[in-house]
Amino acid sequence: METKRIIQSYGRKRARGLSETQKENLVTLYDIYGITLPESNVNPHDYFNGQFEKITLEIGFGRGEHLIQNAINNPTMGFIGCEPFENGVASALKAIADNNLNNVKIYKGDARLLLDFFPAHSINSVYVLFPDPWIKKKHYKRRLLSTEFLNRLREKMAEHGSIIIATDCENYMQNVLENLKSIQGIKYTDDMTALSEKPSWFLSTRYEQKALSKGKKCYYLKCEV
Ligand SMILES: C[S@@+](CC[C@H](N)C(=O)[O-])C[C@H]1O[C@@H](n2cnc3c(N)ncnc32)[C@H](O)[C@@H]1O
């Protein structure tokens, strides 16, 4: 498949030097739990030999706390996490191994590249939690949740699926709501007050905790397919 040029939506790929163990995990554990870009279309169920009825995709899992907790809580569901940040990938791989999880696969890279290989209606839930906000106007074009990407995500969603988005950036959430207006076949509320109430089912993330500890408001959106 031809790789399209896409605008980078993430900040850094590495925070500081990786330890020797992290470097080793990125090779040995990635061999077990990692995904490499396929050469042709692939059904995400195949990564788990078809043993799970439902597939959840988490885009930009950071250090993986939410992804891992979700996978522990839902052992009969397959989870695919995408993240280009190597330190985060190393942490998530270690957590998968430590918890002996057989229901998580990791793609070390831009989720958009992997998603292109998945057939329509192959994913049941998608989480995009605290995507890089790109707060300067000149950087808005870097925001991951463009109309085009939301459309692609929608195409991949199975019936009764859900797309869950959270952010502490009010302007980002408003931008997402604007972009969603042209997406067919989804239900959600666009009431910002309602969106600022944390749903009881929401598992916390590192960025959410950071934002809340600074007294920032967070917004939680669930789009139902
Ligand atoms: C602000 S962090 C939030 C991390 C985590 N979700 C949390 O809430 O703690 C955003 C993450 O999204 C990742 N990211 C940005 N663009 C991405 C893309 N196209 N595919 C996958 N991950 C991406 C970044 O590398 C970064 O780790």
Q: For the chain, give the percent of residues with pLDDT over 90.
A: 94
Considering the domain boundaries, does residue 8 fall inside one?
Answer: no
Considering the domain boundaries, does residue 200 fall inside one?
Answer: yes
Query: In the annotation, is 132 catalytic?
Result: yes
Considering the domain boundaries, does residue 49 fall inside one?
Answer: yes
- What is the CA(63)–ligand 1 centre distance, in A? 9
**Distance spanning both ends of the chain, measured CA to CA:** 28
- What is the CA(82)–ligand 1 centre distance, in A? 8
What tens digit of pLDDT does each residue of 89-125 get?
999 999 999 999 999 999 999 999 999 999 999 999 9
Does the C-beta of 10 come closer than 6 Å to ligand 1?
yes
pTM of the predicted model as reported, rounded to 2 decimal places: 0.97
Does the C-beta of 144 come closer than 6 Å to ligand 1?
yes
Considering the domain boundaries, does residue 27 fall inside one?
Answer: no
User: From the candidates 98, 110, 132, 191, which is the catalytic residue?
Assistant: 132
Considering the domain boundaries, does residue 20 fall inside one?
Answer: no
Residue span of the structural domain in which 190 resides: 45-224
- How high is the pLDDT of residue 12? 83
Nearest CA to ligand 1 atom 15: 10
Considering the domain boundaries, does residue 61 fall inside one?
Answer: yes
**Which burial class, exposed, middle or buried, applies to 117 when counting CB atoms under 10 A from its CB (0-12, 13-18, 19+)?**
middle
| Closest to 82 in 3D by CA, of 101, 104, 49, 99 | 104
Considering the domain boundaries, does residue 7 fall inside one?
Answer: no
Number of domains the chain is built from: 1
What tens digit of pLDDT does each residue of 127-153 get?
999 999 999 999 999 999 999 999 999
Does the C-beta of 104 come closer than 6 Å to ligand 1?
no
Nearest CA to ligand 1 atom 7: 207
- Looking up tokens 């009431």 gives 191
We report the CATH number of the domain holding residue 140 as 3.40.50.150
Considering the domain boundaries, does residue 40 fall inside one?
Answer: no
